[in-house]
Amino acid sequence: MEPVVEDRPEDSGKDAFVMEDWPFYWLARFSGRYNQQMEKSLKAIGLDIPQWRVLMALRDSDSLGVGEIADHAIIKLPTMTKIVKRMEAEGLIACTQRESDHRVTDVSLTPRGMEASEKAWDIAHRIYARAFEDVSEKDIARLNKLLRVVTRNIVE
């Protein structure tokens, strides 16, 4: 059961720490629970979280470079390269050299990858609907805006 968080007066001590008042606590809890649900659900269709991230990055694009996918997925380039090679071997994606720059490997979904993407999207959409069941569209938009600002602020 989640702890009940009550409104607290501003702490006067700068070193005071209340875990439930720390947004990173809630972000980590949410992220952990979300990943647990996704891992369990994706496993049932033969996918994992890194594959999910690649499929979703490519969902609305004809193709992306491996570096672009790594950036979207927040995965280091060497790790993403291994994931891409594994997915290519599984027939989920196709890789080609970029015409304008042969150093860049472009990645696109195969028909099998498009099918896997649809199944994965259905799973993600169900988890999303459950997670945000009692949250208004306005609050979701506000949350997205806040997370974009905080993300932009935290980058060095």
Which residue has tokens 């997670």? 131
Mean pLDDT over 36-47 rounds to 97
- Per DSSP, 134 falls in state T
| 21 Cβ contact partners less than 8 Å away, ≥ 6 residues apart | 5, 8
Higher pLDDT, 91 or 21: 91
**45-95 pLDDT tens trace:** 999 999 999 999 999 899 999 999 999 999 999 999 999 999 999 999 999
Q: Per-residue pLDDT for 156 more than 70? A: no
Residue 119's pLDDT band, with cuts at 50, 70 and 90, is very high
CATH of domain 38-124: 1.10.10.10
Q: What confidence score (pLDDT) does residue 5 get? A: 52
Domain map (residue ranges) of the chain: 38-124
Torsion angle defined by CA atoms of residues 99, 104, 110 and 113, in that order, rounded to the nearest 10 degrees: -160
**Mean pLDDT across 28-34:** 95
